[in-house]
Amino acid sequence: MRRVRSGVETRERRGRLRPLLAAARSASSDETPTLHAPRHLIRLHDLTDSELEEVLELSTRRKLRPGVNELEGRSVGMLFFRGSLRTRASLECAVNGLGAHAVNLTAMSDFWELEERDGSVMDGRSPEHIKDAAAVLSQYVDALAIRPSATGRSWDVDRRDAGISSWARHASVPVLNMESTLWHPMQALADLVTLREHLGTLPGKELAITWVRSPQPASASVVHSLLHAALRFGMKVRLAHPAGFELDEGVLAEAEKLAQKSGGSLEAVSSLEEGVRGAAIVYARSWQSIESYGNPTLAASQRSRATDWMLTESLLGETDEGKVMHAMPVRRNVEITDEVLDGPRSLLVEQAGNRLPSQKALLVHLLRHA
């Protein structure tokens, strides 16, 4: 009969194996992971269609039957290089709710700046390299969840997502992306759960993804992940934004391919009214312009020409009794009016609530066999 190890024994054994696994991985190229390489979640595409379906179904079951200690004795490191309210609180609650332990660390208060460039001469501000931090932390925890920062100066540089890639390259445990410049897979999971709760099946349903104004726009990560997720499920997506706020070409090219494969569709329009017309769901987000990325003066001038890009009740009268989603934080009466946010159309709080069961499902899926 197979002996069931205690959580501590298992973790110690894993700790002894990790340097061997890391060595095996570094001996291979980044593109050809070894048999034992950990499963990372950098973007939702890292889950196959059947895995994604399994996680979504598990998310729904988690809502009905929470509190099972399936990850007892395990631990998850959470490292934040930028602020967070929902991701931090929901993931920590998910980890604890599964009987695991969260180690939550914030850069510049709990630890220091980390170098991400391989081969760099580290005579600057960063006293430690991600390579070393990842190797050390991999011995303590069973997964590392990372919210990296970006330069904010160059889109060509930031779109490479070098920070999260470096963690994935150097950790010997699964790395979970808690929102990088390009992707926010955990938000997309909760978004899919919310969309399915309100629309039932997704193929052919109309989703409007619209830019809204904000003095501090976010990265387009939420929109990239949502766009790909919705098209993967065959939705009809209308993307509305003012001129100058076009999404990354690589992300759009991949979106087109997903639409072709799933039978969904993608249409870009430059009018908010046209964007929301007939939609079952209107998803609002203020994202940075690539044209003015790293140039705050130009960015402010661009936004000043788009002050009417706000969701109001009268605008939403153009929808098909459309509901409103937004990943939050949301600026009231700038991005969306109080009337909409406090009215029956708003799914925002419920959507944020879905972060908890969907992340529990994700953790169980990724860590059960890790």
Please report how close the Cβ of residue 179 comes to ligand CP at its closest, in angstroms.
6
Please report how close the Cβ of residue 197 comes to ligand CP at its closest, in angstroms.
18
Out of 135, 328, 334, 370, the only residue in the binding site for ligand CP (CB under 6 A) is: 328
Please report how close the Cβ of residue 11 comes to ligand CP at its closest, in angstroms.
28
Please report how close the Cβ of residue 328 comes to ligand CP at its closest, in angstroms.
5
Tell me the β-bridge partners of 266: 237
Size of residue set near ligand CP by CB under 6 A:
8
Question: Of 91 and 279, which CB lies nearer to ligand CP in the complex structure?
Answer: 91
Out of 46, 142, 179, 206, the only residue in the binding site for ligand CP (CB under 6 A) is: 179
Out of 327, 340, 341, 361, the only residue in the binding site for ligand CP (CB under 6 A) is: 327
Site for ligand CP in 181-210 (CB under 6 A): 187
User: Rounded to an integer, what distance in angstroms lies between the CA atom of residue 323 and that of residue 281?
Assistant: 5
249: exposed, middle or buried (Cβ count in 10 Å: 0-12, 13-18, 19+): exposed
The reply on whether position 94 binds ligand CP by CB under 6 A is no
Site for ligand CP in 30-89 (CB under 6 A): 84-87
Question: Of 236 and 323, which CB lies nearer to ligand CP in the complex structure?
Answer: 323
- Please state the length of the chain: 370
User: Rounded to an integer, what distance in angstroms lies between the CA atom of residue 149 and that of residue 160?
Assistant: 12
Question: Of 192 and 315, which CB lies nearer to ligand CP in the complex structure?
Answer: 192
Please report how close the Cβ of residue 278 comes to ligand CP at its closest, in angstroms.
27
| Preceding peptide of 296 cis, ω within 30° | no
180 touches 25 (CB < 8 A): no
Please report how close the Cβ of residue 348 comes to ligand CP at its closest, in angstroms.
10
C-alpha dihedral (145, 356, 196, 57), degrees to nearest 10: 80
- Contact set with ligand CP (CB under 6 A): 84-87, 179, 187, 327-328
